[in-house]
Structure 1
Amino acid sequence: MSHYVLKRIQKLPITLEQAWDYFSSPNNLAEITPAYMGFEVLSNSDSEKMYPGQIITYYVKPLFGIKIFWMTEITHVAPQQYFVDEQRFGPYALWHHSHFFKKIPGGVEMRDQVHYKLPFGFLGAIAHALFVKKQLEGIFAYRNEVMEKKFGKF
C-alpha cells in the first residue's frame, strides 16, 4: 500500500493571530471546503478553539455524492505555531495533517503537510492515480482561493 504526501504553502497579508484564530476554529472548516464535498460538521464543539484530544465528526461526499462519516482527532496543538489532525474513522487508511503557521514580513505563511494512505491495496493506488490526488489538490486550491478572497493576496 502506497503512502502519499501532499505539501502546500500559502502566504496571506494578515497577522499570525488572525490566521491562527481563523484556522484553529472548527466552525470555519465548512467555509474552506468546496460545496461539492457536501461537508457537514456533526460534532457540537464545546470550545471555539481546537485543543489536544478534541474529536471532530462530519460527513463528506467525496465520490458520486455518497455520504461518508469522518472522525478526526486534534492530537497536537502549539498555539500560533501548529496543530495536527489525525483521522480516527473515515475514508483513508491513514490521514495525518499538520498545519504550520509562521509570521513573515507583511503577513503569515501557512504550511500544510498531509501524509495519507488509501485502503484496498492496488485498487487504492489506482483510485489515487485516477482521482484522489487530483481531488485533494483541488480542495487545497479551493481553500487558497477562499482565503485570498477573504483576507487578500500576499
Structure 2
Amino acid sequence: MPVIRIETRIAATPERCFDLARDVDLHQRSAAASSERAIAGVTSGKMGLGDTVTWRATHFGVPLRLSSRITEFDPPRRFVDEMVEGPLRRLRHVHAFEAIPGGTLMVDVFDYASPLGILGAVADALVLRRYLQHFLERRSAFLKRVAEATA
C-alpha cells in the first residue's frame, strides 16, 4: 500500500493555507494539466466536513471520474478526504498544517491502493506512484505560490 508524503514550507498563516487547500476552484486551477473539473457535489468554493465532490479528469489519456468526501475536519490544523468512488481501490488524503517560524509547514499524506491486484502493483511500481507524486508536488507548489502572493 503506497504512501506519498509531501512537505511544503509556505510563508503564510495556517488559516490561509488550510482555506486554500480546501478550495474547489483553486484545485481546478492547480490541476489544469489533467483538465480536472468538479462536476457534482461541491463544485465551487470551500469544502467542509461531510461535503462530497465528484471530479472528472484525464490521466494517461483516459477520462476518469473520482468522488471524494471530507471525513475529518479540524480547522486550521487538518482535514482528510477519502475516495468514495473512483479508479483506485482505496484513497485517503490527509492535509495537515503546522505553524512554524515564518509561516506554515503543509504536509500531504496520500495513502492509496491500486486496483487489479498484482497488475496494479506492477503499474504502481513502474508509473503510477511517480505520476501521483509529481501531481501532488505541482499542486503543493501552486498552492504555495498563491498563498505567498496573497499573504
> TM-score, normalization: structure 2?
0.90
Contact (CA 8 Å) 2:17, 2:147: kept in 1 or not? no
The code of the aligned residue for 2:3 comes to: V
Structure 1 match to 2:45: 48
* 1:62 maps to 2:45: no
Cα distance, 1:53–1:66 mapped onto 2, change above 3 Å: same
Q: Alpha-carbon deviations, 1:106-149, whole Å to 9, x = none?
A: 00111111111011011001110121011011112212332343
Counterpart among 93, 97, 102 of residue 101 in structure 1: 97
Which residue matches 2:10?
12
Describe the SS at the equivalent of 1:142.
helix
Give unmatched runs, 5+ long, in structure 1: none
Cα gap change, 1:47 to 1:131, in 2 (>3 Å): closer
Deviation at 1:40, TM superposition (A): 1.3
Q: Cα RMSD between the aligned structures?
A: 1.9
Match of 1:119 among 92, 115, 138: 115
Q: Find out whether 1:133 has 2:120 as its counterpart.
A: no
Q: Which whole-Å CA distance do the structure 2 matches of 1:74 and 1:55 have between them?
A: 7
Long gaps (5+) in structure 2: none
Q: Which residue of structure 1 lines up, in the alignment, with residue 25 of structure 2?
A: 27
Give the match's secondary structure for 1:49: coil
CA distance in 1, matches of 2:57, 2:14: 29
Q: Which one-letter code corresponds to 1:32 in the other structure?
A: S
Q: Which has the higher strand share?
A: 2
Matched residues, number: 149
Question: In the alignment, is the contact (CA less than 8 A) between 2:20 and 2:143 conserved in 1?
Answer: no
CA distance in 1, matches of 2:81, 2:144: 23
Identity of aligned residues (%): 27
